[in-house]
Amino acid sequence: MSFSSLGLSAPILQALTERAYTAPTPIQSAAIPAILRGGDVWASAQTGSGKTAAFVLPIIERLVADGPRGRGRYVRALILAPTRELAAQIAGEIQDYSQHLSQDAALKVLVAVGGVSINPQMMALGGGADIIVATPGRLLDLIDHNAVSLSYVATLVLDEADRLFSLGFADELARIIALLPARRQNLLFSATFPPAVWKLAENLLVDPTRIEMPAASEADAPDIEQRAFEVDVPMRTQLLRNLIELNGWSRVLVFVATKYATEHVAEKLTRAGIPAASLHGEQSQGARTQALSDFKASRVRVLIATDVASRGIDIASLPVVVNYDLPRSPDDYTHRIGRTGRAGESGVAVSFISAETDAHFRLIEKRNRLSIVREQLPGLEPVETIVPAPVQTGGIKGKRKSKKDKLREAAGLPPTTPAPKAAKADDATTRPGTSEPTEYFSWSPRTPPPRRY
Ligand code: AMP
* Measured distance CA(161)–CA(403) in Å, rounded: 39
Quote the ligand 1 centre to 96 CA distance (angstroms).
13
Q: Which atom of ligand 1 is nearest to the CA of 51?
A: 3
> End-to-end alpha-carbon separation of the chain, Å?
50
Q: Residues 201-228: pLDDT tens digits?
A: 999 999 999 999 876 555 567 889 999 9
CA-nearest residue for atom 16, ligand 1, is 50
**DSSP secondary structure letters along 68-97:** S--SSSBEEEEEE-SSHHHHHHHHHHHHHH
User: Does 4-212 carry CATH code 3.40.50.300?
Assistant: yes
- Position 120 pLDDT exceeds 70: yes
Quote the ligand 1 centre to 90 CA distance (angstroms).
12
Quote the ligand 1 centre to 19 CA distance (angstroms).
10
CA-nearest residue for atom 17, ligand 1, is 50
Q: Which atom of ligand 1 is nearest to the CA of 93?
A: 12
At residue 415, the pLDDT reads 56
48 Cβ inside 6 Å of ligand 1:
yes
Name the residue of 314, 337, 346 to mutate for ligand 1: max ligand atoms within 8 A of Cβ: 314
The model's pTM is 0.85
Cβ atoms within 10 Å, residue 216: 9
Architecture of domain 223-375: 3-Layer(aba) Sandwich (3.40)
Lowest pLDDT segment from 136-140, 284-288, 409-413: 409-413
Residue 75, Cβ density class (10 Å: 0-12 exposed, 13-18 middle, ≥19 buried): buried
Q: What SS3 state is found at 92?
A: helix
At residue 268, the pLDDT reads 97
The identity of residue 48, as a single letter, is G
CB within 8 Å of 219: residues ≥ 6 apart: none
Residue 314, Cβ density class (10 Å: 0-12 exposed, 13-18 middle, ≥19 buried): middle
**DSSP secondary structure letters along 50-72:** SHHHHHHHHHHHHHHHH-S--SS
The identity of residue 145, as a single letter, is H
| Residue pair 148/142 in contact by the 8 Å Cβ criterion | yes
DSSP 302: E
CA-nearest residue for atom 7, ligand 1, is 343
Indicate where the chain has its CATH 3.40.50.300 domain(s): 4-212, 223-375
- Position 327 pLDDT exceeds 70: yes
* Measured distance CA(415)–CA(431) in Å, rounded: 12
Lowest pLDDT segment from 184-193, 284-293, 432-441: 432-441
- Position 123 pLDDT exceeds 80: yes
Name the residue of 49, 51, 157, 311 to mutate for ligand 1: max ligand atoms within 8 A of Cβ: 49
Q: Which atom of ligand 1 is nearest to the CA of 49?
A: 2
Q: Residues 376-402: pLDDT tens digits?
A: 999 999 998 866 666 655 444 444 555
